[in-house]
Amino acid sequence: MATVEFRKLVKRYGTIEVVHGIDLAVADGEFVVLVGPSGCGKSTSLRMLAGLEEISGGEILINGRVVNEVEPRDRDIAMVFQDYALYPHLSVYENMAFSLQYRDVPRKEIRQRVSEAAETLGLTELLQRKPKELSGGQRQRVAMGRAIVRKPEVFLFDEPLSNLDAKLRASMRVEIRKLHNRLGVTTVYVTHDQVEAMTLADRVVVMNGGHIEQIGTPEEVYHRPRSLFVASFIGSPTMNLLPARVEDTTAFLGDGSAQIDVRHLNRVVRNGHRFGVRAEDVSIAEGPLLEGYSEVKATVELVEALGADTLVLTGVAGSSFVARVKPEMKPKAGEVIALRFRNDKTHLFDAQTGEAVR
């Protein structure tokens, strides 16, 4: 088991800085996911942790030991790559055993470790097959098995599911989480897929432009985003975000035709704002308006029936606005409806800094 720590970690390519002095502490046995758009620095950070990229500044510590100058093979980590990186001419058994043979592990111990990993991953019947005879999901399990047999202190995953179809990604997410629950090995996982981040992580690290925007549990980054970027990146559909101006305890949305009570917020700044509310916190109004709720008039533009629920795409105060409602509610395009939400489920962001107003 191990802890991992980034201290003011920097990466430059020539004069271009792509990771800007980030700090991160991963606890022993924790599953941490780095998530963000392409080019945000998440994979570069992981590769610096693995020793595959040179560090331009700051420190990386594993179990309290600075490893900046330590060779990858001596960091006691195991990495699972996006493209599996299997040897095509070797069998599943030989792929899984290769790193142990390289380290001169006794043959009997190699057989035991490979057998245990194969049983854990459901690969026992496939040990004599070559990678070309396997499905994408089976190849990914072999890549995971190759990492498991090394019994590393830290697992690193670099977008391991991005080459799989949607159904297989979902099943592999379950397998990876079950594997972590069983082994308890400290894990750092990189993805651009927010669903993977939210379902796998003990804590999520949201990155943008080489900076860390927010660190927190999946629930924290979803329900209490600290910035406009986190609010817009995490969640599907994305959070409704409308321009707003604030006067005293009231936010006037968009063209000013919609008003929201924001007295539940502790601090309100006077410059421009963005008002936000999640689609699932919005419902089509029924019955009298209750204390602590707000309503806005909306013009229905499109209805998407998803089976378990329905997305109603509307226009509110001159801006797009989405509600996730019960499946039986299907208003018609062009219809004017009232949308309702609890005031304490809403958010305000400073439009200049992007920071959440708390």
Residue 201: the pLDDT is: 97
Which two three-digit tokens encode residue 300? 């229905």
Q: Is the pLDDT of residue 267 over 60?
A: no
Residue 261: the pLDDT is: 81
CB 337 within 8 A of CB 300: yes
Q: Is the pLDDT of residue 282 over 90?
A: yes
Q: Indicate the pLDDT class of residue 288, thresholds 50, 70 and 90.
A: very high
Average pLDDT, the chain: 92
Residue with tokens 């991005």: 162
Q: Is the pLDDT of residue 266 over 60?
A: no
* Mean pLDDT computed over 265-270: 57
CB 45 within 8 A of CB 34: yes
pLDDT tens digit sequence for 108-120: 999 999 999 999 8
Q: Is the pLDDT of residue 263 over 90?
A: no
CA distance 170 to 175: 9
Q: Is the pLDDT of residue 354 over 70?
A: yes
Residue 173: the pLDDT is: 92
Q: Is the pLDDT of residue 150 over 70?
A: yes
* Mean pLDDT computed over 51-69: 97
pTM, 2 dp = 0.91
Q: Is the pLDDT of residue 358 over 90?
A: no
- Look at 270 and 332; give whichever has higher pLDDT: 332
CA distance 312 to 302: 6
Q: Indicate the pLDDT class of residue 6, thresholds 50, 70 and 90.
A: very high
The full set of domains in the chain, from first to last, is 4-229 (3.40.50.300), 238-350 (2.40.50.140)
**DSSP for 78-132, written as a single string:** EEE-TT----TTS-HHHHHHHHHHHTT--HHHHHHHHHHHHHHHT-GGGTTS-GG
CA distance 218 to 157: 18
Which two three-digit tokens encode residue 354? 């992007």
* Mean pLDDT computed over 147-162: 93
Measured at the alpha carbon of residue 168, what is the angle toward residues 128 and 1, in degrees to the nearest 5? 70
pLDDT tens digit sequence for 15-52: 999 999 999 999 999 999 999 999 999 999 999 999 99
Number of other CB atoms surrounding residue 38 within 10 Å: 7
Q: In this prediction, what percent of the chain has a pLDDT beyond 90?
A: 77
Q: Is the pLDDT of residue 268 over 60?
A: no
| Residue 144 buriedness (CB in 10 A; 0-12 / 13-18 / 19+) | buried
* Mean pLDDT computed over 310-327: 94
Residue 253: the pLDDT is: 87
| Residue 84 buriedness (CB in 10 A; 0-12 / 13-18 / 19+) | buried
Q: Is the pLDDT of residue 270 over 70?
A: no
Q: Is the pLDDT of residue 232 over 90?
A: yes
* Most confident option among 20-29, 131-140, 300-309: 20-29
Longest dimension (CA), the chain: 75
pLDDT tens digit sequence for 169-179: 898 899 899 99
* Mean pLDDT computed over 162-170: 87
* Mean pLDDT computed over 67-72: 96
Residue 265: the pLDDT is: 67
CA distance 186 to 116: 20
Q: Which residues pair with 340 in a beta bridge?
A: 283, 295
**DSSP for 154-197, written as a single string:** EEEEESTTTTS-HHHHHHHHHHHHHHHHHH--EEEEEES-HHHH
